[in-house]
Structure 1
Amino acid sequence: MRLTSYTDYSLRTLMYLATVDREKLTSIKEISNAYSISYNHLTKVGHELSKLHLIESVKGRNGGIRLSAEPKDINIGWVVRQTEDNFHMVECFSSENTCLLAGGCELQSALREALNAYLAVLDQYTLEDVTANNARLFSLFQTALQT
């Protein structure tokens, strides 16, 4: 299973916000610079994360973003489900399935089982789990911002 860059950027944004001072606002530009990824793409990600109530967005000259929930309360599997546009691994997962084997093939059920197992593993992790080495991550972000 491959995640879209949108989901990747969503997870990276949340990880960044989990490592910085929760009282301080962070800018999309800062996160974009730390990861060397597109500011425009990250702005869209930030908007979606705000709609999902995962981050708080403060507008204005001194505005920015921060987590709106504790990292221990943000489930990675849930985030992936919310940010992926579909999980159509093969044609038979789509409503426009024209595969000759539809209705007689067991591949779809095997792949669905694999997808469910994949998501079940992600459901076992929170943002707190994947940022447990917070100090090391913060150091890496600071080094990236200095270059």
Structure 2
Amino acid sequence: MRLTNFTDFGLRALILLADRNGETLSATEIAEHFRVSRHHMAKVLQELTAAGYLVAVRGAQGGVRLARDPRDIRIGDVVRRLDDQPLVECFSAEGSDCALLPRCRLKGMLGRAHMGFLRELDRFTLADCLEKPTSLPALDLAE
């Protein structure tokens, strides 16, 4: 599975804000920290605020901060909210005109794999992203 840059930036912004433990950071500060476009980061932060993950603070010292405890923010939920692109063409909301349908079973296989990916991410919270790497199970990439 591959996440969009939008989702990647959103996850990184949440991790940074969790690491800063209640600080309010501006879109510019977050964008500069990750060396990404301020405009793009502002859109990401707006979506995270609309989803209830962040609180917007107005004024000269304004910006965003976490709206919830990092232990209450599931990574799978964030990915579901931010990554709304269809996995492949046949998952599009408009339907598919694939010449292989209705005999192709790949869509079902990919759908199950995608759900498994999200279920795995549901096991982790934002707080888990800040803990020592040794606390996570070893990952065998040879499988």
Name the TM-score, length of structure 1 as normaliser: 0.84
**Percent identity at matched positions?**
40
C-alpha distance in 1, partners of 2:80/2:15? 17
Match of 1:126 in 2: 125
Match of 2:138 in 1: none
How do 1:78-93 residues align onto structure 2 when only pairs under 5 Å count? 78-86=77-85, 88-93=86-91
CA contact (8 A) 1:92 1:102 kept: no
Match of 1:16 in 2: 16
C-alpha distance in 2, partners of 1:62/1:114? 44
Deviant stretches of 4+, over 3 Å: none
TM superposition shift of 1:114: 0.7
C-alpha distance in 2, partners of 1:33/1:49? 18
TM superposition shift of 1:96: 3.2
C-alpha distance in 2, partners of 1:128/1:43? 23
C-alpha distance in 2, partners of 1:92/1:33? 37
Measured on the aligned residues, the alpha-carbon RMSD in Å equals: 1.2
TM superposition shift of 1:107: 0.9
Could you list the runs of 5+ residues in structure 1 that have no partner in the other structure? 134-147
CA contact (8 A) 1:76 1:123 kept: yes
C-alpha distance in 2, partners of 1:92/1:85? 14
| Number of residue pairs matched by the alignment | 131
Higher relative contact order (CA 8 A, sep 6+): 1
In the alignment, is residue 28 of structure 1 matched against residue 23 of structure 2?
no
Q: Deviations over 1:43-75 (max 9, x none)?
A: 111111111111111111121211010000000
C-alpha distance in 1, partners of 2:91/2:24? 41
CA contact (8 A) 1:77 1:119 kept: yes
Name the TM-score, length of structure 2 as normaliser: 0.87
How do 1:61-100 residues align onto structure 2 when only pairs under 5 Å count? 61-86=60-85, 88-94=86-92, 95-100=94-99
CA contact (8 A) 1:50 1:57 kept: yes
Structure with greater helix share of residues: 1
Instruction: Write the letter of the residue equivalent to 2:89.
Output: E
